[in-house]
Amino acid sequence: MKHNIKSAMSVFLMVSSMIIPAVRAEYEPCAKDYFAILAGGSGERLWPFSRKCRPKQLLSLADDRTLLEQAIDRVTPHTRSADQIWVITTRNHDEGTRALVGNKVGIFLTEPAARNTAPAIIYTCLQLYDKDPEAVVMFLPADPFIPQKDQALFDDAVKQALGYARVHDEIVLVGVQPTYPATGYGYINYEDVVCDNALAQVRKVRAFHEKPSFETACLYLNEPNMLWNIGMFAAKVGVFLNECKRVAPDLWQEMIACSYAQIPYEQVQSISIDYALIEKSDRVVVVPASFAWCDVGNVSTFLTIKKDYEHSEQKLISVDAHNNLIDVPDKLIALVGVSDLCVVQTDDVLLITKQEQAEKVRAVVNELKQSGYDNYL
């Protein structure tokens, strides 16, 4: 379904200074709550499982459902109809995504080009504002892993975030408790003061900290008011647009120019929503959540989750070999004197890497691009 960006922009420019009325109510699935699932990606971090035409969210993990299907199923209990679930993807993934989840989703938005999360989110907000200017929207990435056993904890965080967003003109983040000193995630430091007595989990954000050193991450792990920033946040659609106009005026002007066909979408700056808007806004609060969460950022993590949750049989003989992660279908694997490896076989690729070096798989993808081996991408 297509929407008119120019119409949405015109309407919003006329009323952007207005405050959407706040009416306090107990949480229940509401027809004005929307979930926008960001499903782009280049298929590089989990190569060779993921490919250019099969990004991470289209991989199955822990059951027969893909990560995208799991993301949709998690939010479905918070909706009254599929029309409240939107998926935002790119041209490369549009066909495969629609074929996979078309019966579960009300709206598909195909971003004209991949320009990172900030343009994608503002693009989505303009479409949604055109449909329902009083909508409350929660954005979520399509590709993290959250175990099904933690659905109730996830539900509670969603209820707190949407309940607060309905009655306040602020952006509500959801953060999770760190479980190890991660250096690849952003962190949220929050205050003890409760923002709303009826929604006691919501706290004011004190500061953001981007990807720390290992030593700093170890310190963060022991701080009680520190969370991982998981890219999940909610607000009235008008609040998102007002904040973009206020704190990210360059991006705002580019989106205006794009909406009036003055510049192509490809020329809009490529920037994350965190850098462009969230970290600059003083209207940001957070819900500390305790559900298990994993970014599934490399093949080592992917294989670890498969091992813990799928319990698939692997024909393996190890001689003085320890802590190896193996995914080689239909073959006996014999390992002698090696440890801490990932061994992956697909129809056309064999990958062997040390677990601690798994992040460097993207360098292999770059080599494939430079060498002209596009059929392996």
On whether residue 281 sits in a domain, the answer given is: yes
On whether residue 331 sits in a domain, the answer given is: yes
On whether residue 338 sits in a domain, the answer given is: yes
**pLDDT score for 23:** 36
Q: Are residues 58 and 191 in the same domain?
A: yes
Task: Give CA separation, 57 vs 177, 209, 229, in Å.
Answer: 23, 26, 19
Residue 148 CB coordination number (10 Å) = 13
**pLDDT score for 372:** 92
Q: Are residues 279 and 344 in the same domain?
A: no
On whether residue 57 sits in a domain, the answer given is: yes
Last residue in a domain, options 289, 317, 341: 289
Q: Are residues 99 and 180 in the same domain?
A: yes
Q: Are residues 195 and 268 in the same domain?
A: yes
Q: Are residues 43 and 161 in the same domain?
A: yes
Q: Are residues 81 and 151 in the same domain?
A: yes
Instruction: Look at the chain and report how many structural domains it folds into.
Output: 2
Position of tokens 């659609």? 237
On whether residue 264 sits in a domain, the answer given is: yes
On whether residue 294 sits in a domain, the answer given is: no
Segments of the chain assigned E as strands:
33-38, 85-90, 107-111, 136-141, 171-176, 187-194, 203-209, 226-236, 284-289, 316-319, 325-327, 333-336, 341-345, 350-354
Q: Are residues 147 and 202 in the same domain?
A: yes
- d(CA 99, CA 165) in angstroms, rounded, equals 33
Q: Are residues 209 and 241 in the same domain?
A: yes
Do residues 205 and 286 touch, judged by C-beta distance below 8 A?
yes
Q: Are residues 184 and 215 in the same domain?
A: yes
Quote the pTM value: 0.90
What domain range includes position 366? 299-376
**pLDDT score for 26:** 52
Do residues 188 and 173 touch, judged by C-beta distance below 8 A?
yes
Do residues 243 and 281 touch, judged by C-beta distance below 8 A?
yes
Segments of 244-291 assigned E as strands:
284-289
Last residue in a domain, options 231, 264, 289: 289
Last residue in a domain, options 289, 320, 342: 289
Find the CATH number of the domain harbouring 31: 3.90.550.10
Q: Are residues 320 and 252 in the same domain?
A: no
Q: Are residues 276 and 369 in the same domain?
A: no
Q: Are residues 142 and 112 in the same domain?
A: yes
Return per-residue pLDDT of the chain as tens, 377 residues.
444 444 444 444 444 433 333 334 455 789 999 999 999 877 899 999 999 889 999 999 998 899 999 999 999 999 999 999 999 998 888 888 999 998 899 999 999 888 999 999 999 999 999 999 999 999 999 999 999 999 999 999 999 999 999 999 999 999 999 999 999 899 999 999 899 988 989 999 999 999 999 999 999 999 999 999 999 999 999 999 999 999 999 999 999 899 888 999 999 999 999 999 999 999 999 999 999 999 999 999 999 999 998 877 789 999 999 999 999 998 999 999 999 999 999 999 999 999 999 999 999 999 999 999 999 99
